[in-house]
Structure 1
Amino acid sequence: MKILSFDIEEWFHLLDLDATKTEADWEKYPKRIHENMDRIMAVLDNNGQKATFFCLGWVARKYPEVIRDIVDRGHEIATHSDLHQLAYTQDRKAFENDLSTSIQSLEDCSGQKIRAYRAPGFSLKKENKWVFEVLQKNGIEIDCSVFPAKRAHGGFEEFGLAQPCWVESDGIRLKEFPINLHSQFGQNLIFSGGGYFRLFPQSLLHSLFAKSDYVMTYFHPRDFDAKQPMIPELSTIRKFKSYYGLKGCMSKLEHIIREFELIDLKTADEQVNWETAKVVQLD
């Protein structure tokens, strides 16, 4: 099972900046989402490939034509929050307000029921596991936020499972599609999106995809935009992580689509035998 998904946000929605920037600040940056989405859609159309798009509610309000185009091409819409804030920086009320606003904006724009959620930066931890309760309360059936390893933003190392499963916490039960892991030399490699996908050579990516029974990809429009501006206030390390490998990333994506059978989240959900799926108890 190899799932193709994209997190739809603007090129400047970098987590190192989002804590200090407001929507008014975002207006100062040039807009690149249309050309970046056109680039992604061309590859998907040319290969007859479907995907799931985790979108910001902000995108639905600011650029409703982007959401409608995704729907018109037969893809699935899910939520990636409203304003791209790390979940563990929000209290329960702020998180729920952000979530419900995103769901309403995306449903109004797309005409689809929003069933799935992915937190910005995979920012679920043991400390904010109450998020699962809020998700279910707001009609979310599937979460894709668990990063079962150490990570700069978030990381739920105690989760202990990197495959589709049930999450049980405080009396609720939710389907979970976590990020996949590959163990190498005692380290967990997460190769299926972001900086790791851009950093690793295509031959290594092919090998890792081939060896993995379960893969959850997570790409962003900015991953394929080699001409995006450099944000000067980023640290040197963050600049490297955010800008390295942009030029060759699209060819890697095309290779993966051609060489492997990729499916959207809806199809993956239908393929899982949920009666026998493992349960992660967080109480």
Structure 2
Amino acid sequence: METIYKILDNKNIMASFFIVGWVAEKYPEVVREISNRGYEFGSHTHMHQLVYEQSKEEFYQDVNRSIKTLEDISGKKVKMFRAPGFSITEQNKWAFEVLHELDIEIDSSVFPAVRAHGGMPSYGVEEPSILEYNGVQLKEFPINTHSFMSKNMIYSGGGYFRLIPYFMLQKWTANDNYVMSYIHPRDLDPDQPVIKDLSISRKFKSYVGLKSARFKLEKWLTDFDFIDIGTANQIIEWNTVKKVKI
């Protein structure tokens, strides 16, 4: 986290943090530090379980616990959510009803293409939009994708960000009108312990590119102007964006 704070301070930019509830319980000082520095934050569930592996009631209880944990620690209202692994899919759209019931106003869980964790290709929009489902509306900041070798893929965060050469990252970013960037603290920690007994493909996805990730991120933040979700929310004219019924 200190690495992330230093990068943001040096670039004089704000960021949005989606926090896992059990991590907040174990390290409440991290939540307080994020809050005291003026960064906004939202729920990333409590146990970081894929949404489609839970029932509606299980999902409600999990997200509710995470929200209460974050609010109790910070004294601030939680209004944002992101699902682990973008795991709200065509089969569990009821998750948006749960989020609305828990007073979430802004979501960033939609992967508008096919992927290993399901995705939601029917969404069809890769820009800030109003998501409508069963009478519920949420402000949606979907992840953006790029067509590469006939496949829509993420390039702006996580393992994808670490694996893609910077010249490609720079080119694709310049060509897109909207980019949703995200990074995990572990993506910037080349000295982290390596988990044994992982498959070769999983090791590749988890550990390749860690040493160059910080340099890549700092250059990216220099070459392009980034804002946090809260700032975007304020400047977007929501009455003019696309409404997507799912």
Q: TM-score range by the shorter chain?
A: over 0.9
Measured in 2, the distance between the counterparts of 1:87 and 1:233 equals 26
1:58 corresponds to which of 16, 22, 45: 22
- Residue 185 of structure 1: CA displacement? 4.4
Alignment of 1:160-175 (within 5 A): 160-175=124-139
**Percent sequence identity over matched residues?**
51
SS at match of 2:238: coil
Residues 179-209 of structure 1 show CA distances to partners (whole Å, capped at 9, x for unaligned) of: 0122244321311001111111111111111
TM-score (norm 2): 0.97
Structure 2 unaligned regions, length at least 5: none
1:245 aligns with 2:243: no
Does structure 1 conserve the Cα–Cα contact (< 8 Å) formed by 2:90 and 2:119?
A: no
1:67 corresponds to which of 31, 34, 37: 31
Aligned length: 246
Structure 1 unaligned regions, length at least 5: 1-36
Alignment of 1:108-147 (within 5 A): 108-147=72-111
Does structure 2 conserve the Cα–Cα contact (< 8 Å) formed by 1:121 and 1:154?
A: no
RMSD value, Cα = 1.1
Change over 3 Å in CA distance of 1:149–1:243 after alignment to 2: same
Matched residue type, 1:169: Y
- Hey, what does 1:267 align to over in structure 2? 231
- Residue 263 of structure 1: CA displacement? 0.4
Does structure 1 conserve the Cα–Cα contact (< 8 Å) formed by 2:163 and 2:208?
A: yes
1:223 aligns with 2:153: no
Measured in 2, the distance between the counterparts of 1:111 and 1:252 equals 35
Alignment of 1:1-283 (within 5 A): 37-282=1-246
- Residue 211 of structure 1: CA displacement? 1.2
Measured in 1, the distance between the counterparts of 2:48 and 2:203 equals 19
Does structure 2 conserve the Cα–Cα contact (< 8 Å) formed by 1:79 and 1:102?
A: yes
Q: Moved runs in structure 1, 4+ residues, more than 6 A?
A: none
Measured in 2, the distance between the counterparts of 1:225 and 1:206 equals 22
- The structure showing larger relative contact order (alpha-carbon pairs under 8 Å, at least 6 residues apart) is 1
Does structure 2 conserve the Cα–Cα contact (< 8 Å) formed by 1:166 and 1:173?
A: yes
Does structure 2 conserve the Cα–Cα contact (< 8 Å) formed by 1:182 and 1:190?
A: yes
TM-score (norm 1): 0.85
- Residue 214 of structure 1: CA displacement? 0.3
SS at match of 1:175: strand
Does structure 2 conserve the Cα–Cα contact (< 8 Å) formed by 1:77 and 1:110?
A: no
Measured in 1, the distance between the counterparts of 2:115 and 2:196 equals 24
Measured in 2, the distance between the counterparts of 1:111 and 1:202 equals 39
Does structure 1 conserve the Cα–Cα contact (< 8 Å) formed by 2:22 and 2:46?
A: yes
Decide which moves more: 207-216 or 80-89.
207-216
- Residue 149 of structure 1: CA displacement? 1.4
